[in-house]
Structure 1
Amino acid sequence: MDVLDLARTQFAATGSLHFLFVLLTLGLAPLVAIMHTRWARTGLPLHERMTRFWGQIYLINYALGIVTGLVMEFQFGLAWSGLSHYAGDVFGAPLAMETLVAFFLESTFLGLWIFGWGRLPKWAHVACIWMVTATAYGSAFFILTANAFLQNPAGAVLSGGRLELTDFGALLTNDALVYAFPHVLGAGLFTGGMVLVGASAYQLRRRTAEVEFFTRSMKTGVITAAIGITVTVMFGYAQFAAGVQPGKFSGNAAAAVPLGFMVEGGHLFSLIVLFFMLPCIRLLPRWRWAHPLLIALTPLPFVLAVLGWLAREIGRQPWMIWERLTVADALTPGLTSGMVTASLAGFTAVLGLLAVVDYVLIARIIRRGPGDDLSLGAAGERRAPALTY
């Protein structure tokens, strides 16, 4: 492989690994917020325990996902300085907003939610997790704004050999953005819902004592997955009709392969979720014969989402910015195969290890079940019992 192919492979590998964390974050954040709201309204211990249990899984995924996101930023300076020079004034603006939203606002509200157990007033505590969800979605919006600019460079003109932003509104209403954003949010909800379904099926098949806990979790996951897959498919097809990059996939066999698997997989999942899981939602928790199938389906939304992302990016080749800047011109001058190979091996090893650690920790929590000894916020409540609600 030459330097260009190595650099593309590096970004594809690190981007795909990071996207695994993003999907689960976008899917679990609103679910945990809904569970916490139910607890605040009803005061039922079941809703409290659901909030703590699924909140732990969200926190593990979020913490490790942050580290993988840093690697993405490094690569723009290391391997793609041509992009930064040519379009940094436009492309960098939404990336900067994403950093401010993700690392400052989202992390701040998440910290308040974690350490606010037993300290904050009830509804202020609920507001924190809803702000975590809102800022997570805001972070995704700005990332997709930057990516949509690469797909369709709206709102910018060439001036002095560099792109200059002239219409910020056009950047935020890009046709490549308005359909992709809900498409990704739908994929996140679908993924988060299927994680609840698979984890609950695992526990119920083991004849757990927490039958009510995981029965309710499974039903929540099925409803969420049904909403998510519907939104994903609807806005997925809407992107084909948007008119951005017409004929994008017709002449690109490399992009057609992941796209075909993603589309057919989406159709199959739609049939399973909407015509089997949703109509049988009351029976699924008791159907032990169906639980191995539900467990086996859990990782597939991650696979389909990565395939979709690869199709979106490969379909733009050979352009880094559509019909403005080629990938070859965006590459940092002076890079050697040895340099890129070393960074590819290092980044992939670190991110791959983080992904393995993430899912091993999540699997351990799911296997252990909703115990009270390590529950989210338990230590804080023991120090301030008078402030619990």
Structure 2
Amino acid sequence: MSAADLARLQFAATTGIHWLFVILTMGLVPIVAFLHTRAAYTRDPARRAVRERMTRFWGQLYVINYAVGIVTGLVMEFQFGLSWSGLSKFAGNVFGAPLALETLIAFFAESTFLGMWIFGWGRLSRGAHIALIWLVALTAYASAYWIMIANGFMQHPVGYEIRDGVAHLTDFGALLANPNALLALLHITLAALTVGGVLVAGISAYHFARGSEDADQFRGSLRLGVVVGAVASFFVVIAGDLQLPLLRRTQPMKTAALEGGDVERVEARLVQEHGPGDYVFAHDWLRLSMDVMTIIGNTVSTVTLIAVFLLRKDWLVRRRPVALLMTAMIPFPFIASAAGWVVREMGRQPWIVYGELTVEDALSPVGRTSLAVSCAVFVAIFLALAVTNWTLIARFARRGPSATQLGSTEPLADEADGESAEGSGGGPGGGPGDPGGDPGGGRRVVVPVL
């Protein structure tokens, strides 16, 4: 393999694995925020207790994914300097600001709000605690916006001019309103909600299928996951189609490969505009990835839509094969999302910044041996982190709410002996860990041990 192939393989593998963390983070956090809000404003103490318990259960899965995923994000940043210094040199004046903002939001603002939410159980007022989880959701999507602005410039560069062989930003507004970035962000948002909804529905259905002692507590989560998955998976197909007219104008070879167009005519046009080059790159991979994404997307949309109607007759709860089918669907939205990422990134070859900078020109002057070693190390680290993440998520998902550590509380030594540790919160209504209770609560808050 050439140095360019090794660098591309490294970045493709690490970014693809990191993307699985990102898509679940974006899909799960609004569901957790909604569940927390609904639990906090439920008046009936018994129902509030169940809903808060489920909020902590899903919140713990989210925290695990976020904690491990952010490590992959930190490691991945080093690759820009290691393998792609040409990209930084050419597009750093444009590309750098969105990347810096994404880093500040994801690694500082989002993580700060999440930490305050984790440690705020039983300590913060109800309104403040709810505001924190919604701020976590807001910053997660703000982070996604900035990274898509950076990626959108690579896909469809706008708002710049070339001076002395370097891109300089001339129109910040055009960069922020890049249609390639905004349409992709809409598509990704709906894909993330599909992932989150199917995961919630699948884990909930699993507990009904196995007859878990906590199964009845998953009834509300099952409904929410099925509805979110059905709505999001329906509109994600529409959002994907909205990108095609823009791609036909800005990346004609990609659409020609995907739609069976006249590839030779498009290649001749690109040679005339940009000079000789390999413009017919990996078209078989593009079509295969597009087919995988389309088939899975339509299947998930159909199954979740049918599941919405099955909820009315309680078949998802009573029919074990149907419940197991929902559980078996969990990995498929992840696969579809990864296939969509392949279509987006591979389809603009040979460019790293479309029409301006090729992959070969962006490559750092690093030897094949160094790239081979770094590729092996990076991929091994990312695979280890992915296995760790999914092992932890699967373990806590199987154990159910009874084993949840996030937000649970323990009585202090001077409390009455017979008082339940889960009945903390000290607020009106006496619900367990009531976020509207006394900020101190006379208890210690237990955070998850990963």
Q: Which amino acid aligns with 2:101?
A: M
TM norm structure 1: 0.96
Following superposition, the deviation at residue 382 of structure 1 comes to 5.9
1:182 lines up with 2:157 in the alignment? no
Offset, 1:381: 7.8
Residue 248 (structure 1) aligned to one of 240, 249, 254: 254
Report what 1:109 is aligned to.
Answer: 113
Write the deviation string for residues 4-38 of structure 1: whole angstroms up to 9, x where unpaired.
11110111100010001001100110000001101
Q: Which moved more, 1:377-386 or 1:63-72?
A: 377-386
Say whether 1:343 aligns with 2:349.
no
Deviation at 1:268, TM superposition (A): 2.0
- Does the CA contact (< 8 Å) of 1:262 and 1:307 recur in 2? yes
Choose the corresponding residue for 2:398, options 360, 367, 371: 367
Q: Is the 8 A contact 1:117 1:381 kept in 2?
A: no
Q: Give identity over the alignment, percent.
A: 48
**Match of residue 168 from structure 1:** 172
CA deviation map 1:123-171 (0-9, x unaligned): 1100000000000000111111111100000111101210000111111
1:37-52 matches, cutoff 5 A: 37-43=37-43, 44-52=48-56
CA distance, structure 2, for counterparts of residue 131 and residue 385 of structure 1:
22
C-alpha separation between the residues in 1 aligned to 2:179 and 2:147?
15
Q: Which amino acid aligns with 1:212?
A: D
Q: Within 2, Cα distance between the matches of 1:381 and 1:330? A: 59
Asked if 1 retains the 8 angstrom alpha-carbon contact of 2:91 and 2:167, the reply is yes
The question of whether the paired residues in 1 share the 8 Å contact of 2:204 and 2:215 is answered with no
SS of 1:280's equivalent in the other structure is helix
Q: Give the CA deviation at 1:374.
A: 4.1
**Cα deviation code 1:86-126 (max 9, x no counterpart):** 00110111000001111111011111101111111111100
1:254 partner letter: W
- Cα deviation code 1:213-264 (max 9, x no counterpart): 1121111100110122123111111011224313424243332221121122
Distance 1:337 1:249, change over 3 A: farther
Tell me which residue corresponds to 1:9: 9
Match of residue 322, structure 1, among 351, 354, 365: 354
Q: How does 1:129-278 map to 2 (within 5 A)?
A: 129-242=133-246, 243-251=249-257, 252-274=283-305, 276-278=306-308
Q: Deviation of residue 351 (structure 1)?
A: 0.8
Q: In 1, distance between residues paired with 2:290 and 2:162?
A: 32
1:214 to 1:4, Cα distance in 2 relative to 1, 3 A: same
User: RMSD over aligned Cα, in angstroms?
Assistant: 1.6
Q: Report if aligned partners of 1:175, 1:244 keep a CA contact under 8 Å in 2.
A: no
Query: Aligned letter for 2:288?
Result: V
CA distance in 1, matches of 2:61, 2:36: 14
What's the CA shift string for 1:340-366, capped at 9, x where partnerless?
111111111111111111111111111
- Structure 2 length-normalised TM: 0.83
**What is the SS of the residue equivalent to 1:278?**
helix
**Structure 2 residue identity aligned to 1:42:** T
For 2:157, the aligned partner's letter is P
For 1:280, the equivalent position in structure 2 comes to 310
What runs of 5+ residues in structure 1 fail to find an aligned partner? none
Is 1:24 the counterpart of 2:24? The answer is yes
Residue 308 of structure 1, aligned match among 340, 355, 362? 340
User: What does 1:69-148 align with in structure 2 at a 5 Å threshold?
Assistant: 69-148=73-152
Q: Deviations over 1:244-291 (max 9, x none)?
A: 3134242433322211211222122222222x1122123212221212
Whose radius of gyration is greater, 1 or 2?
A: 2
